[in-house]
Amino acid sequence: MSRFVEGFLVMLGREPEKPTHLTPAARIVVDAQGSREGKARRKKLIAEERESNYRSHFWRNWRWVSIIVVNLLFVLSYRADVQLVEGALTASRFVGFHMADLNSALQVMLAYKHLLINLVIGTGTVLFAWWLLGGRSFCSWVCPYHLLAEIAEMLHLKLAGRGLVSDHTLHRGTRTALYASFVVLALATGYTVFEFISPVGILSRAFIYGASLALIWVLALLLIEIFYSRRFWCRYVCPIGLTYGFVGAFSPVKVVYNLEPCLHEGKCRQVCMVPHVLSMTRIGYADDVKIDIGADCTRCGMCVEVCPTKALSFDIKGLNKLL
């Protein structure tokens, strides 16, 4: 099975599998890392890394700025009536160009069983933009709920560190099952059912047009993420991430893993919102020296920030590395 197909299956809920065949280059690196000298060197480097407590917030800071600026553009355009960006994240016009969130557009088309030309144009524009930038980068660079969920995750980890809460995981296939359910509901009822409970749309509209009772639902989700299940919505429910994941699988913007400098200490997986995409960083799970991170990657950069040996980095196909 190709790594590309494997990435899709893992995104849909399948557990990453240990490869049975390694490339000759990967075999050389694995044998070197597994030797007595390699193990001693790895142990020494991990000890040094723990002492230095290496961590950067470069990409996180830029992501937070991006989320705030993008959503603020909608608010200021409406409040000041400058008509730069009209509408909300689910559907809008940017200086006259129609824009439509891919998942929202899909829900509308399924519910109304009709293709509107503006919807097709808006969907095509957004599809191209997120293909270029990396599909699920929408989640970490634009989505307002992501910022709140990231803060909720920090609180969850602090409480967990004190033994006050624990993380209750769900099967990742739950998101795929719910995705299919929302599709069927839209077709059967003629309503965009998911949009009623989407915290992305609720928050975007609340910021622009004012608060509503729907914010109680958003608060409930955040409380679940703080006290019960870490990253509950993004990992196990949200179909938006799945939709953009399909787009991002073909994107030229990737996070790339390099087996050779990796210490396999697992810090990248600890901080990752979707740690299953970093399965190759586990000992014995990389079948090549350099591997593109899979379709479910949000390009948030947290794994890049925390990696002390630069085994993970951003890359644009055909261009030099960004970091």
Q: Give the integer Cα–Cα distance in Å for 235 and 160.
A: 18
Q: Which two tokens stand for residue 28?
A: 């050389």
pTM over 0.85: yes
Closest CA to 141 of 302, 312, 14: 302
The boundaries of the domain holding residue 130 are 59-246
Q: Give the integer Cα–Cα distance in Å for 125 and 137.
A: 16
> Where does the chain show beta strands of DSSP type E?
85-88, 91-94, 97-100, 253-258, 290-292, 312-316
Q: Domain for residue 321, yes or no?
A: no
Is 103 in the same domain as 150? yes
- Which is it for strands 253-258 and 312-316: parallel, antiparallel or unpaired? antiparallel
Per-residue pLDDT reduced to its tens digit, 288-305: 999 999 889 999 999 999
* pLDDT of 323 higher than 50: no
Is 190 in the same domain as 257? no
Q: Domain for residue 323, yes or no?
A: no
Q: Give the integer Cα–Cα distance in Å for 139 and 89.
A: 12
Is 279 in the same domain as 297? yes
Is 35 in the same domain as 66? no
Q: Domain for residue 126, yes or no?
A: yes
Per-residue pLDDT reduced to its tens digit, 102-116: 888 888 888 888 777
Between the alpha carbon of residue 241 and those of residues 29, 102, 142, 294, the distances in Å are 34, 10, 12, 13
Local structure of residue 301 (DSSP, 8 states): -
Per-residue pLDDT reduced to its tens digit, 85-144: 888 888 888 877 778 888 888 888 888 887 777 778 888 888 898 899 888 999 999 999
Q: Domain for residue 131, yes or no?
A: yes
Closest CA to 297 of 266, 319, 275: 275
In this structure, is the dihedral angle defined by the CA atoms of residues 16, 20, 26 and 28, taken in order, positive or negative? positive
Of 215, 246, 277, which marks where a domain is finished? 246
Domain count along the chain: 2
